Amino acid sequence: MKLKTKKIAPHKFLYFALKVAFIFLILSFFYFSFYLSPKIKRQKEISDIKRYILTSYYILVQNKISYVFLTRLDEKSPDFNLEKSEIIESLKSTQKRGLEYLGNPIPKESFDKNLSATLSTLSLETEKIYEEQKNLLDKVFSTKSYQEGLNLLKSKEAVNLLTRQTNLLLEYQFWLERLAQEEKNLSNLNLNLNQLFNSLKS
């Protein structure tokens, strides 16, 4: 006894294929519109802000290192004048680069309402530090001896300025770590949603 196999009509198969394709297109549209597009925008925001903070941070670090080196110069060293000249040039260069970079607009962001205001505050404080440091160094360079200038470099005003600079660097580090965590969260979310989307396709 032969079993009869039920054949699927070609038009029914075509209808089914079109229906699956339509559902897939709808899912793809929602995936792009409500997940992928906002995610791309969010990742770009994070990338732009990280670049802004990193640049400000590294220039400020270089500036601080040069300042500390200036306070530790050995006046009796045979290379004293050369070392002092190089350090002073580095200080002036980082001050100039730092102030010029702060003239760039702060990147916009939407994922953290506090960050935009915080970046404005950090940028303003960074600018103040460069300007106050420049005024302090102008006084140092106008002294008659290195020891007299060194006393100014280690004065209460200078120590307070260096402390503010250190605290500012710590604040930049905090936000860089915060942004790195945000990137990690986005990456994990992307992985989970991609797995869900792939399961729906199969």
Question: 32-71: per-residue pLDDT in tens?
Answer: 454 555 566 777 888 889 999 999 999 999 999 999 999 9
The reported pLDDT for the residue numbered 170 is: 96
What's the pLDDT band for 200 if we cut at 50, 70, 90? very low
* DSSP tag of 33: I
The domain segmentation of the chain, as residue ranges, is 48-188
Q: Is the pLDDT of residue 130 over 50?
A: yes
Nearest by Cα to 64 from 150, 147, 174, 167: 167
The reported pLDDT for the residue numbered 64 is: 95
What's the pLDDT band for 31 if we cut at 50, 70, 90? low
This prediction's pTM: 0.74
Burial 7-34 (b: 16+ CB within 10 A, else e): eeeeeeeeeeeeeeeeeeeeeeeebeee
Burial class (CB in 10 A: 0-12, 13-18, 19+), 193: middle
Residue type, 197: F
Q: Cα(142)–Cα(156) distance, rounded to whole angstroms? A: 19
